[in-house]
Structure 1
Amino acid sequence: MATEFGVLADLLGAWRAAFDERRVDDIVALFAEDALFQGLSPALLEGSAQIRTYYENVPAGMRAEVEVLRSRTLGPEAVAGFAAVTFRPRTGDPQPVRLSVVAQHLGTGWRIRAYHVSRTA
């Protein structure tokens, strides 16, 4: 298995590229079918359909910068970690957040099982 840091860096790098280019199908494909999701809205989401709706409603022109900060192996095919993410809208102030992610290797590759964003002070 690749290092847990490399797994998260690759997975979040793919997420960032799809997010910046507003490729919702590609974003959703990075999540497990039954993923738990807490984005910037207060809603607790679960599953591909709800995650799709969330990303379809992200304002056009929003971009993200991602830096993996910490990672840990949870088991033979599961990793977790924290990242610093800065969302940059087309206009307005950047929104720095912390992201916690749990990823699992499913038959077709690494997928995000849990995604939680919290605002930074």
Structure 2
Amino acid sequence: MSAAERTLTTLLQTWRTRFNAPDPEGAAALFTDDAVFQGLFPDPVTGPEKILGYYRRVPAGTRAEARVLTAYRGGDDWIGGLAHVVFQGPDGTIPVRLSVIAVRRDEAWHIRHYHVSRL
């Protein structure tokens, strides 16, 4: 596993833990202030308050599992990649592809771009 794959795997494991808790504030805190976010709800959102609002709208009991498929390092302070994510909730199972770009700020990794596409 490459360093980029390890980094992205760790970041998505943290996201999954917070998402599954559920901990909307903790999940939203993983994103940059200028993050672009396209989840399963129809409208894209930007910024921490709107991302927090999105996570607060997720139906109770919804859980996610994520597996990194590929990752690459674009520079010392950013990585990108694709993951397979499966959401389990009241509406059943929803498999998606997640495209993500993460940046390092203050020695921590944060998500700057998050886009899911249903499979």
> How far apart are residue 76 of structure 1 and its match?
1.1
> How far apart are residue 108 of structure 1 and its match?
4.6
Partner amino acid, structure 2, of 1:110 = W
What is the alpha-carbon distance in structure 1 between the residues aligned to residue 59 and residue 91 of structure 2?
A: 12
What is the alpha-carbon distance in structure 2 between the residues aligned to residue 116 and residue 88 of structure 1?
A: 18
Instruction: Verify: 1:112 aligned to 2:96, yes or no.
Output: no
Q: 3-state DSSP class of the match of 1:94? A: strand
How many equivalent residue pairs?
Answer: 118
Which residue does 2:51 correspond to in 1?
Answer: 51
* Change beyond 3 A, Cα 1:49–1:108: farther
Partner amino acid, structure 1, of 2:94 = Q
Q: Which runs of 5+ in 2 are unaligned?
A: none
Q: 3-state DSSP class of the match of 2:60? A: coil
Q: 3-state DSSP class of the match of 1:4? A: helix
What is the alpha-carbon distance in structure 2 between the residues aligned to residue 24 and residue 93 of structure 1?
A: 21
Which residue does 1:66 correspond to in 2?
Answer: 66
Which residue does 2:41 correspond to in 1?
Answer: 41
Which residue does 1:11 correspond to in 2?
Answer: 11
Which residue does 1:94 correspond to in 2?
Answer: 93
Q: 3-state DSSP class of the match of 2:117? A: strand
TM-score by length of 1: 0.94
Structure 1 runs (4+) greater than 6 angstroms displaced: none
Per-residue CA deviations over 1:27-86 (Å, capped at 9, x if unaligned) read 011111111100011211100011000000000000001100000111111000000000
TM-score by length of 2: 0.95
* Change beyond 3 A, Cα 1:87–1:111: same
Q: Which runs of 5+ in 1 are unaligned?
A: none
Q: 3-state DSSP class of the match of 2:66? A: strand
